[in-house]
């Protein structure tokens, strides 16, 4: 199909990336269309023409966020050989992502729109759905460990353990937001992994014997 009409003067991918940066810095409601227009270097009408509404833009932004910042933790879950290594590496990859010096120190999934005006209810539930996917992904990885034989059924329940590590991930975001360093997050992760052996009836290992050689991503 031929390209008709006047071509765009801006690159939608670049613009989406710039929109991501702004939404990341200020959250959904904290970012206005004026802010976006200024940051993207185009008029707000062009944003509407290219991306639809503010909410549509935000959803596209979150999709990009998922394939960039969200990928390392997801890959950790996918590629590590055991459930234990996968959870540990996932936590570390998360800590890496939320303490990058060139980006805001928190996960957008968790803090971009937890509360807000009534009219933005749909956006909040959209993010809540993505967070639920997180929980599911962790639960699925534990189930795979069960199938692979590297994990015995935890007495507390597999869902409970999955929700527990999801809770830790989400708590890490608040910690990073409040200025915790990468090293401090690593300590928290060490503590969180200390629960693993008790939860999974594995032989306990003292914290100073933690497998720190595991790849963080």
Partner DNA sequence: TCCTTTGTTTATCGAACGACAAACAAACCG
Partner DNA sequence: CGGTTTGTTTGTCGTTCGATAAACAAAGGA
- What's the CA gap between 185 and 105, in Å, rounded? 12
Out of 17, 25, 48, 63, the only residue in the binding site for DNA (CB under 7 A) is: 48
The 10 Å CB-count burial string (b at 16+, else e) for 65-88 is beeebbebbbebbeebebbbbbbb
Q: Which of residues 13-52 bind its own copies (CB under 8 A)?
A: 25-27, 29-32
Nearer to its own copies, 49 or 153 (CB): 153
Give the range of 6-14, 47-55, 67-75, 152-160 binding its own copies by CB under 8 A: 152-160
CB 168 within 8 A of CB 93: no
CB 28 within 8 A of CB 123: yes
Phi-psi region of 201 (alpha: psi -120 to 50; beta: other; left: phi over 0): left
The 10 Å CB-count burial string (b at 16+, else e) for 146-178 is eeeebbeebeeebeebbebbbebbbebbebbee
Half-sphere exposure (Cβ direction) of 59: Cα atoms closer than 13 Å: 14
55 is a contact residue toward DNA (CB under 7 A): yes
Residue 121, both tokens: 């209810």
Shortest distance in whole angstroms from residue 31 CB to its own copies: 8
Nearer to DNA, 3 or 115 (CB): 3
114 is a contact residue toward its own copies (CB under 8 A): yes
Q: Which of residues 174-193 bind its own copies (CB under 8 A)?
A: 174-175, 177-180, 184, 187-188, 190-192
Out of 44, 120, 144, 146, the only residue in the binding site for its own copies (CB under 8 A) is: 120
- What's the CA gap between 197 and 128, in Å, rounded? 30
Shortest distance in whole angstroms from residue 4 CB to its own copies: 40
Provide the binding-site residues for DNA, judged by CB under 7 A.
2-10, 31-35, 42-46, 48-50, 53-55
Provide the binding-site residues for its own copies, judged by CB under 8 A.
25-27, 29-32, 106, 110-112, 114-118, 120, 128, 131-132, 155-157, 159-161, 163-164, 166-172, 174-175, 177-180, 184, 187-188, 190-192, 194-195, 197-199, 201, 204, 206-208
């Amino acid at each position: 199909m031929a390209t008709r009409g006047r071509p765009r003067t801006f690159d939608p991918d670049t613009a989406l990336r710039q929109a991501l940066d702004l939404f990341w810095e200020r959250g959904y409601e904290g970012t206005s269309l004026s802010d976006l227009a200024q940051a993207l270097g185009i008029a707000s009408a062009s944003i509407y023409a290219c991306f639809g509404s503010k909410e549509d833009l935000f959803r596209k932004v979150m999709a990009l966020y998922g394939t960039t910042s969200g990928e390392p933790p997801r890959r950790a879950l996918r590629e590590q050989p055991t459930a234990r290594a996968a959870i540990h590496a996932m936590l570390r990859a998360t800590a890496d992502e939320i303490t990058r010096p060139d980006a805001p120190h928190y996960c957008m999934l968790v803090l971009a729109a937890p509360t807000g005006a009534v009219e933005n209810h749909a956006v909040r539930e959209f993010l809540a759905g993505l967070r639920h996917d997180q929980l599911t992904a962790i639960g699925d990885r534990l189930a795979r460990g069960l199938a692979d034989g590297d994990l015995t059924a935890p007495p507390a329940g597999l869902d409970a353990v999955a929700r527990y590590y999801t809770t830790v991930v989400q708590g890490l975001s608040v910690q990073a937001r409040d200025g915790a360093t990468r090293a401090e997050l690593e300590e928290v992760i060490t503590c969180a992994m200390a629960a693993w052996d008790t939860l999974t009836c594995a032989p306990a290992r003292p914290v100073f014997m933690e497998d720190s050689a595991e790849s963080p991503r």
